[in-house]
A = this chain, B = another copy of it.
Amino acid sequence: MTAKTTVPRSTTAQQPPAPGKATINDIARLAGVSKKTVSRVINDSPLVKPDTRAKVHALMREYGYAPDPQARGLAFRKSFLVGLVFDNPTAQYIVNMQYGVLDALRDTGYELVVHPCDSKREGYIDGIRRFVLQQKLHGVILIPRVSEDQALAEALREIDCRYVRIASVPFDEAGRMLVTQDRIAGAEAADYLESLGHRRIGLITGPKRYRSSIERGGGFLDALAKRGVQVPPENVYEGGYTFESGVAGAEQLLSRPDRPTAIFACNDEMAAGVYKAAQRMGISIPVELSVVGYDDSPLASQLWPAMTTVRLPVRDVGRQAASLLLAQDASQVAVMASVTPHLVARDSCLPPQAG
């Protein structure tokens, strides 16, 4: 028996809704229209008289009303969640991608759900399918390497799930693809080293099963060939995109009598391995050896000398991918979206020493 007055749960004398707690019914009642009309305003239907729309909008703002995504989702039979599916890229890549996607999702009512997976595991596609189906995802964004898996894309199409694939080759139709021009970037690295005067050049690629590796390395070799520089097979080492494989590759390339005066590693981790091997062998970077990496990871600028590398604006990529995904209902995209990475010249390259 306290003095506290309790408000009856269901009263017909309508109270103003608590801030952030208003429902479509509150707004409808306050506006003197049906909830269907409010629904029309929410969904930007043209079938609303401007006056009515304005009044409803004002009320929505006043009460801080935002439609409940769960209720909306239930009625729409889809959620307002976008999934980010990735296998195992670098932390920096994942995080930048997330920031970019969130940039595009901000104030759209969509949220980002993260879903790492292991594409080497049997049945990983089933896991993704369950995730999509159960959460009734609006769509998913696929990052390399899962983006390169045609079976996964097919499975998603089968269950009618929107998706955008980020990959270095147009594996899919426009509107569902965001191409990163790794081949062009590889060529840029080649042009840079050749124009510095390097002729004996080494290449440390990633694993062949990564399309990015093929594009980066292939673009590099092709561009060199175009400039008349041949890279003999013994100057090409297939690494595993890991630091250790970079060390191993560099040790092999640099222990040959006619050792290269420049090395292009297809990611920064391996390039860092080149640094380590060079230091161990007493080979000075950049005087005796030029090094170019790929990714512009934080590492690149924190090594000494700061590393020349290739930068993909990952956050932009994420932003564009999310925009593509949200636009899929509205428009039939005709042109293939693409982003080209560029060389960031720092201190790890110099013309080769005379002699």
Contact = CB atoms under 8 A, between A and B. Distances in A.
Interface string A246-284: 000000000000000000000001001101100110000
Nearest to A101: B114
Interface string A4-34: 0000000000000000100000000000000
Nearest to A76: B70
Contact of A74 (B70, B92, B99, B136): B70
A111 interface: yes
Contacts of A45: none
Contacts of A302: 243, 269, 272-273, 276, 299
Interface in A88-110: 90-92, 94-96, 98-99, 102
A133 interface: yes
Contact of A95 (B79, B91, B113, B279): B91
Copies of the protein in its oligomer? 2
A331 to B, nearest CB: 27
A353 interface: no
A299 B304 CA distance: 12
A71 interface: yes
A43 interface: no
Contacts of A96: 91
Nearest to A67: B134
A289 to B, nearest CB: 14
Nearest to A278: B304
A112 B111 contact: no
Contact of A70 (B73, B273, B276): B73
A269 B302 CA distance: 8
Nearest to A137: B111
Contacts of A71: 74
A298 to B, nearest CB: 7
A116 B91 contact: no
A340 interface: no
A69 B134 contact: yes
Which residue, A68, A113, A280, has most C-beta atoms of chain B within 10 A? A68
Nearest to A268: B302
A68 B133 CA distance: 9
Contacts of A225: none
Given A243-B302, A272-B302, A116 B134 contact: no
A66 interface: yes
B114 A98 contact: yes
Contacts of A275: 304
A52 interface: no
A130 interface: yes
Contacts of A150: none
A91 B95 CA distance: 6
Nearest to A99: B116
A195 interface: no
Contacts of A299: 298-299, 302
A144 to B, nearest CB: 16
Contacts of A279: 304
25 contacts: A20-B129, A20-B134, A66-B130, A68-B74, A68-B134, A68-B136, A69-B134, A70-B73, A70-B74, A71-B74, A74-B74, A90-B91, A91-B94, A91-B95, A91-B298, A98-B116, A102-B114, A112-B113, A114-B114, A243-B298, A276-B302, A280-B304, A298-B299, A299-B299, A299-B302
